[in-house]
Copies of this chain bind each other. A is one copy, B any other.
Amino acid sequence: MYGTARSEWRTTPRRAAVLEALHACDGFVSAQSLHTALVTDGVAVGLSTVYRTLRLLEAAGHVDVVRDSDGDGERFYRPRPDDGHRHYLVCRECGLSLAVESEEVERWVARIARDIGFHSVDHTVELTGMCDGCRPGPVDRRPHPAGRARVV
C-alpha cells in the first residue's frame, strides 16, 4: 500500500569487509583494532562504520562480546558459532580466549528467570584468569606470548 517494503540490511562493500576482517582475526578484537587492521590492509573504511557494523552484528546475534573489566569497559568482538552463543575464559595477560562449555549456566539462567518471573532475561557471563604461559613465577617471569586475541 503505502511504504514500500524495503530490506533492512543492505549488503555493502564496507560491511562485507568488516565481517571478513573479523573472521580473519584470531579471537576477540576491538572496534578500533579491527579498523586499524582494515586500513592497514588497504581497505578504506571509516571508524564510525566499523562501530556501526559491529553493533548491528551484535544485535543480530552474529558476534559474541566480552568487555574489558577495567574502567571504560571496552568491547571486544568475535564471530559467534552458528549453533548459538558461547562464553569465554580469557587470560588477563595475553588475551588467549577459550570458549567453554556452558550448558549448566544456560539452564541455571532459565531456572532463575522462571522462578523470579522476569521477562526477556538476558545474561552476561565472563571468566578471566591466567593461562599457563602467563603464570607469574616468583623469580623467572617470562615474556608474554603475544598481545591479545588468540583463540582455541
- Residue numbers of A with Cβ under 8 A of B are 67, 69, 72-73, 89, 91-92, 98, 100-102, 104-105, 108-109, 112-113, 116-132, 135
Contact = CB atoms under 8 A, between A and B. Distances in A.
B129 A121 contact: yes
Contacts of A135: 119
Contacts of A102: 108
A116 B104 contact: no
B118 A130 contact: yes
Contacts of A122: 69, 127-129
Most buried by B among A69, A116, A118, A132: A118
B129 A118 contact: yes
